[in-house]
Amino acid sequence: MFHIMDVLKEVHVWFRRRPSRAREGIPSDQRLIFEVDADLSAQLRLAARERDQPPQDLAADLLIQGLEHESLRAQAERVLASLTRREQEVARLAARGQTNQQIAETLVVSTETVKTHVRNVLGKFGVRSKVELRVLFLDLGIRWWDGTR
């Protein structure tokens, strides 16, 4: 599986303005033009053929999915930044798979305090459990609990 940002390093993008055909009632527009290397082009054509889809449609679908993913990742990063220092510590330990008891021992607080922080963190991310929180982070490529982002 590839990460969209790794693929985009091999893609050249520019805008091209189509000439106006105002006399015909068709306004000019701006289009993104992508140029990809031969390997990526071959992969795209193969995947499109397997899906019985034109390559340009598959490319558009993949770009939309990548942009949606990036939007969700950026939103999660904003939520992470909005957490209190203690909530960030609890979220980090919870994402590592620690139990409430282990988190309480690590932070030298009661398990009830940990439960409160966990509940607040889960609510801010819109998930229902620590497992869902970890899965959300992994799905979005956020691994800040182990030093990578």
Domain termination site, one of 66, 82, 98: 82
Mean pLDDT across the chain: 83
Based on the domain organization, do 91 and 115 belong to the same domain?
Answer: yes
Answer yes or no: are the C-beta atoms of 20 and 28 closer than 8 Å: yes
Rounded mean pLDDT, 16-41: 68
One-letter amino acid for residue 25 of the chain: G
Residue 116 belongs to what domain range? 84-149
**Domains: count for the chain:** 2
Q: Which long-range contacts (CB under 8 A, 24 or more apart) does 80-88 make?
A: 80/142, 80/144, 82/124, 83/121, 83/124, 86/117, 87/117, 87/120, 87/121, 87/124
| 54 and 107 part of one domain | no
**Is it the case that residue 1 has pLDDT exceeding 50?**
no
3-state secondary structure of 31: strand
Mean pLDDT of 12-36: 63
Same domain for 62 and 90? no
Domain end position, chosen among 82, 101, 126: 82
Quick one: what percent of the chain has pLDDT higher than 90? 52
pLDDT in tens, 76-127: 999 999 999 999 999 999 999 999 999 999 999 999 999 999 999 999 999 9
CB atoms near residue 137 (< 10 Å)? 21
The pLDDT of residue 129 is 96
Q: Tell me, rounded to whole angstroms, the distance of Cα 67 from its chain centroid.
A: 8
Comparing 25-29, 39-43, 117-121, the range with the smallest average pLDDT is: 25-29
How many beta carbons lie within 10 A of that of residue 93, not counting itself? Answer: 22
Which CA distances in Å does 138 have to 7, 62, 74? 19, 19, 14
H runs (alpha helix) in 83-127: 85-95, 100-107, 111-125
For residue 146, what pLDDT band results from cuts at 50, 70 and 90? low
Cα 5 to chain center, whole Å? 10
